[in-house]
Chain A
C-alpha cells in the first residue's frame, strides 16, 4: 500500500490516537489486509505503541494480517459510500436558513405539510438493512417504469426502512390507498405500474393472504401482523424516507426536543423520564432515569451520552430496523437526554457491516446540524451538543458498556475491571451515560405524551412497548413491537403465526448467548423484565428465537458457548476457561462421551463463572446453560446416561440420523 495513502487516511482523522480503529478499518477496506509495515507506520504516526496496534489488529475478526485473495470483506457489502459522499448524494432538501426558535420549527413543519399533496401517489418500498441490496432492483425498476410512463413528476418513490414483516418482504405500499403488495420482485413492477398506478386496480396475486382465513387483505395496516402490534417506535417506518428530515418533521419530529428545551428545565426532563419508569432496553432493564441522574450528578463538567447500537446479540435485528428506518427518532431522544444530563458531546456506537444504517445515521446527523437541531445553540436555546459516530468492527464483547467505551477511546475493547460505574467514570474517565437505541427512541415519546400516558402501557414494573426480533422455527420472521405484558403465546402464535411444517413448539429462547430458554408450557407468561428474569429467561435485548420439537437443547447450548469462545475478550479466567470447559463437556456429551458427574461439574463451573467473572458478559455466559438445567435436565441426562438424543439431532447418538 502506498505510503502517501496511509498518510492521507491518518490525516483525515487529524492523527488522533483515538482514531486508531477507524484508521485500521479504512486501510483494511482499501487494501483488504493489514501488512506489518503499514501497522508500524500507523503506530508511529498515531503515537500508539506497536503492541497496542497489534492487540487491536488481532482482536477484531474484520482485520486480516495476511494477504486475502478473495477476502470476504465485512466492510462493503455493496458499494459503501463514505459519509461525505452519502451526504452529497442525498442532499436534496435545500434549506434557506437554520431554525432558530421553537416557532421557526413549527413554521417549517407547517410549510412542509402545506406543500405536501396527500393525494399524490407514492410508492413506498421497504429498504432496510440486509434487504437494501435486493430491494434496490425493485426501486430501480420503478424508476424505469415511471420514466416510461412519464410519471416522474406525478408519483413519488420512497425507499423506507424495514417494515418488520420480513417473512413476506419485499413490501411495496402504494399510497394514498395504502395498497400493500408482498414478496414483490422486480418482474412484478411493470404490472404494478400499469394496473395499480395507472388503472387503479388491485393485483390480487400480490396481495397478502391471511393463512388462517384465506382472506385477501389489501391495506397494510389491516394485515393482522400490523394490526395486532402497538407501533409507537416502528409505526413510521413504512411512512417515512429515513434519508429525509422533512419526512420526520412532517410526522411531528423534533417537537419533543423543542418542548424539552423551551418548556422544561433539565431537571423536569429527568423527572419525567424517572416517573415514566423507562427501563434500559439493551438487556439489563436498569431504570434509565436513575442512570441519567447518576451521570448528571457525577462530578466534572465534561459528560458524555452514548447510543449503544452495537446489537451483537445473535438473532437481534430490531435496533437496526429502528436506527436505519427512523434515525432521527433516536437522535432526538439522545439530544433530549444530553440536555437533561448536561452533556455536550454524544457518540453513536454502531455496526460497521450495514452500509444503509451508516449512511442514514450520517445523513441524519448532517441534516439535523444544518437545520440547527444539533451543534451550536440548538434551536436558539443556547444549548450546544455534538455527535460523533464510532464503529464496532466485529467482536461481541464490545457491546459491554465499559468495553464499548474503551473502543470509543480507540483502545482494545476489554471491559474495565474497576469497581466504578461508567455513569460516573466512563470514556476518558468522564461520566458517561450509555443507553441502547430503543431506549433513546422512547424518550421523545415520553416527553411529548407525558409519563402518565407512558405508565398506562405495560405491566407494573415494565412500561411501554418492546421491540423483538422473531426468528428460528416460526412462520413469520421479522421485527415486532408489543406492549409489555403481552403473553408470549400471542407473540409466537399470533404475530409469529406459529411453528412451520406442522411441528410442535418446544421452547422459546430470549437473549442469545447470554439469555435463557423457556419451555413451551410457560408460553402463557407475559413479556416482562422481572417476570421472565425470575423464570431464568432474561429478555436481553429482545432477540426471540422460537424452537420446535426437533431442536436439541444440548446442541443449542453448545453453539452459544462456541460463540462466546470467539466473542469474549479472553482476559479473565472464569470466563475464558470456564466457557472453554463448559463447551468441552457439552461437546463430549453430544458425541457420546458424556459421563456421570458431568451435570454437577457444569453446575459448579456455571456457578463460579456467574460469580467471579470480570464483566457482565462473563457473569451471564452460563445463563442459557442454567436454564437448560432447570427446564431440560432430562434431555441432558438422556444424552449422558442413555447416549440418546431425544430430539434425534445429535448424529453421534442413538436415533441421531437426521
Chain B
C-alpha cells in the first residue's frame, strides 16, 4: 500500500489508511475544536465545529474533520477566515441554548462569538448526542435516546430503563459539554413522572 502523505497546517505527516483528519491532526499536534466527538465513540458529525478546509486534487472543500478520511496528497487548513466564520456562527447558534456552558464560553472567546447574538431559548442541550451514544455504544444500556425531529428533537431518558440503570451510573454526565443540566432535568423528569416523559414527545 502506498503511503498517504498529508499536510495539515503546513505540517507533513505519513498517515495510515482509515484515519480521519481529526486523528491525523492530533498526531502532528494540531488541535481542532469539537463538541460531539469522543474517541471511544463512533464519529458523529453533528456539531460541525470541526469543519476544516481540505484540498484534494486542486479542489478545496469544507469538510468535517472528525469524519473525513485522509487520502493521498491531502492538504488541510484548520484555521482560515472561512473556517473561523463557520465556527463562530455555530457557537453563537449554540450559545442561544446554553449561554452559561463553560466549554462553549471558552470557545466563544477563541472565535469571537457573541453569546447574545440570537434570542435565548435556554434548553441547555446542544444535541451533541454524547450521552445517547455513550449509553448505547459503551454501556450498552440505551437508557437515553433522541426523540422527535427537526427543531423539536430532544434527548429523553426511557423511564423503565433509567430507573434501573441510571441512578448508580450517570457516566454520561461528565461528557456533556453543557454541564449535563438538561440531562439531569430530563432524567429527574423520567424518574419522577414516567408517563409524562413518554408523552412529551408528542
Determine the distance from Cα of A630 to Cα of B47 in the docked complex, in whole angstroms: 29
Which A555-588 residues have C-beta < 8 A from chain B? 564-574, 576-581, 584
Which B52-100 residues have C-beta < 8 A from chain A? 62-64, 67-69, 82, 85-86, 89-90, 93-94, 96-97
Measured between C-beta atoms, what is the minimum distance from B201 to chain A in Å?
A: 4
Which A530-546 residues have C-beta < 8 A from chain B? none
Which of B1-9, B145-153, B168-176, B181-189 lies on the face that meets chain A?
Answer: B145-153
Question: Do A573 and B151 contact each other (CB < 8 Å), given the known contacts A51-B142, A419-B69, A608-B86?
Answer: no
Determine the distance from Cα of A613 to Cα of B45 in the docked complex, in whole angstroms: 10
CB-CB < 8 A to B127: which residues of A? 570-571, 573, 576
Q: B150 contacts which of A52, A418, A570, A608 (Cβ < 8 Å)?
A: A570
Indicate if the CB atoms of A417 and B44 lie closer than 8 Å. yes
Q: B48 contacts which of A54, A572, A581 (Cβ < 8 Å)?
A: A572
Which of A57-65, A128-136, A316-324 lies on the face that meets chain B?
Answer: A57-65
Which residue of B is nearest A49, CB measured?
A: B142
Indicate if the CB atoms of A417 and B198 lie closer than 8 Å. no
Which residue of A is nearest B195, CB measured?
A: A36
Measured between C-beta atoms, what is the minimum distance from A625 to chain B in Å?
A: 15
Q: A612 contacts which of B86, B118, B129, B198 (Cβ < 8 Å)?
A: B86
Determine the distance from Cα of A601 to Cα of B82 in the docked complex, in whole angstroms: 16
Question: Do A573 and B199 contact each other (CB < 8 Å), given the known contacts A566-B149, A584-B119, A612-B62?
Answer: no
Determine the distance from Cα of A395 to Cα of B153 in the docked complex, in whole angstroms: 13
Q: A58 contacts which of B82, B90, B96, B148 (Cβ < 8 Å)?
A: B148
Determine the distance from Cα of A98 to Cα of B153 in the docked complex, in whole angstroms: 51
Measured between C-beta atoms, what is the minimum distance from B121 to chain A in Å?
A: 8
Indicate if the CB atoms of A581 and B118 lie closer than 8 Å. yes
Indicate if the CB atoms of B93 and A577 lie closer than 8 Å. yes
Indicate if the CB atoms of A568 and B201 lie closer than 8 Å. no
Measured between C-beta atoms, what is the minimum distance from A37 to chain B in Å?
A: 11
Indicate if the CB atoms of A604 and B89 lie closer than 8 Å. yes
Determine the distance from Cα of A362 to Cα of B201 in the docked complex, in whole angstroms: 34
Indicate if the CB atoms of B85 and A608 lie closer than 8 Å. yes
A217 within 8 A of B: no
CB-CB < 8 A to A36: which residues of B? 198
Indicate if the CB atoms of A395 and B149 lie closer than 8 Å. yes
CB-CB < 8 A to A611: which residues of B? 51, 62, 82, 86
B30 within 8 A of A: no
Which B8-57 residues have C-beta < 8 A from chain A? 43-49, 51
A140 within 8 A of B: no
Indicate if the CB atoms of A576 and B161 lie closer than 8 Å. no
CB-CB < 8 A to B46: which residues of A? 417, 571-573, 614
Q: B156 contacts which of A54, A59, A584 (Cβ < 8 Å)?
A: A54
Chain B: interface residue count, which band?
35 or more
Question: Do A570 and B153 contact each other (CB < 8 Å), given the known contacts A54-B147, A66-B199?
Answer: yes
CB-CB < 8 A to A604: which residues of B? 85, 89
Question: Do A51 and B144 contact each other (CB < 8 Å), given the known contacts A578-B93, A584-B119?
Answer: yes
CB-CB < 8 A to A576: which residues of B? 127, 150-151, 153
A234 within 8 A of B: no
Indicate if the CB atoms of A572 and B47 lie closer than 8 Å. yes
Indicate if the CB atoms of B43 and A417 lie closer than 8 Å. yes
Determine the distance from Cα of A418 to Cα of B68 in the docked complex, in whole angstroms: 7
Question: Most A CB atoms within 10 A — which of B48, B69, B145, B148?
Answer: B48
B191 within 8 A of A: no
Indicate if the CB atoms of A54 and B150 lie closer than 8 Å. no
Which A52-99 residues have C-beta < 8 A from chain B? 52, 54-55, 58-59, 64-66
Which A307-360 residues have C-beta < 8 A from chain B? none
Determine the distance from Cα of A577 to Cα of B149 in the docked complex, in whole angstroms: 12
Interface string of B129-167 (1 = CB under 8 A from A): 100100010000011111111111100101011000000
B residues with a Cβ closer than 8 A to A are 43-49, 51, 62-64, 67-69, 82, 85-86, 89-90, 93-94, 96-97, 117-119, 126-127, 129, 132, 136, 142-153, 156, 158, 160-161, 198-199, 201-202
Q: Please name 17 further chain A to chain B contacts, defined as beta carbons within 8 Å, in addition to the given A51-B144, A419-B68, A567-B149, sorted by A numbering.
A: A36-B198, A52-B145, A55-B147, A65-B199, A565-B151, A571-B46, A572-B46, A572-B47, A576-B153, A577-B96, A579-B151, A581-B96, A608-B85, A612-B48, A612-B62, A614-B45, A614-B46
Q: 11 A-B contacts, Cβ less than 8 Å apart?
A: A64-B202, A418-B45, A565-B151, A565-B152, A569-B150, A569-B153, A572-B45, A573-B90, A573-B94, A604-B89, A612-B51
A residues with a Cβ closer than 8 A to B are 36, 40, 49-52, 54-55, 58-59, 64-66, 395, 397, 417-419, 564-574, 576-581, 584, 601, 604-605, 607-608, 611-614
- Chain A to chain B: the 3 pairs with minimum beta-carbon distance, closest first: A417-B45, A570-B153, A51-B145
